Structure 1
Amino acid sequence: MVWRSLVFLIFSLQSSWLFAETVSGAVAANPSTGLVYKEPFNSGAISQLALGLIVVIGLIFTLAWLLRRYSGLPGQNKSLQIVAALPLSAREKVVLVQAGEQQLLLGVAPGRVNLLASYDNPLIEVGQKGDFAVKLQQALSRVKQE
């Protein structure tokens, strides 16, 4: 309801502004008919177009910044994060997720997520750089040996 009122207000202000501009800067082409001719590409129209474009682009950038800044959903927890991911094919991948003190190895495919393994001791420390595939193979070989 608020959006409808806002759109109505904008269009009514715009139409009254254009009407006032037409009356003030108009030249009568034919006085007997009362037709009004106004040059469509004058400096005022071009500057108005440029100013409107700058305002719209500025509004887009402002909204994008606000969305990026305040996109956090309520209830998000920083202790749940993706440590590493390994694509297996175009649509499947293996993801190592840090959930509190545990690390979970998840198989992710379109439409489903499967728990492959759960580790109490971390396979990879959060923020540690390294070759995930090699460490995953080492961890899987340790699991098979046990």
Structure 2
Amino acid sequence: MTKLISHLKFFLFSLSGISTQALGQTPDLMSSIPTLLIGLVVMLALIYVLAGLAKKTNFMQMKSSGMKVLSVLPLSGREKIMLIEVGKQQLVIGVTAHNINLIQSLDEPIEMPAQDFKQTFGKLMQQKNKQQ
């Protein structure tokens, strides 16, 4: 078994261009543990932040030119009411984990104001300042 491991090390290091003489010059394990832990924490934080961004921006949601989600009202963790636009028609649907139901087809479309990030962020900051 040890012969197999030594042959495997030799093969891997020969592929990577590292000479077998450099094998004896390995860093001390105790000095490399903090570096490894910091790297691990940074990578986990990066994964967490990217996953949160993907979830918030609906990164994986497919875009369609014929259909748009205009508004979403969450009722619970898995149930929500959505206002969608299909072509020129607006529909109110109920969405659950296992079902999608048409609640109402609107005769008169609801005009949805364009959401500007600057305005939305300003309103959020004003609300936060009022609470403090």
Instruction: Kindly indicate which of the two structures has a greater share of residues assigned to strand.
Output: 1
What's the TM-score, normalizing by structure 1?
0.42
* Larger-Rg structure: 1
What's the TM-score, normalizing by structure 2?
0.46
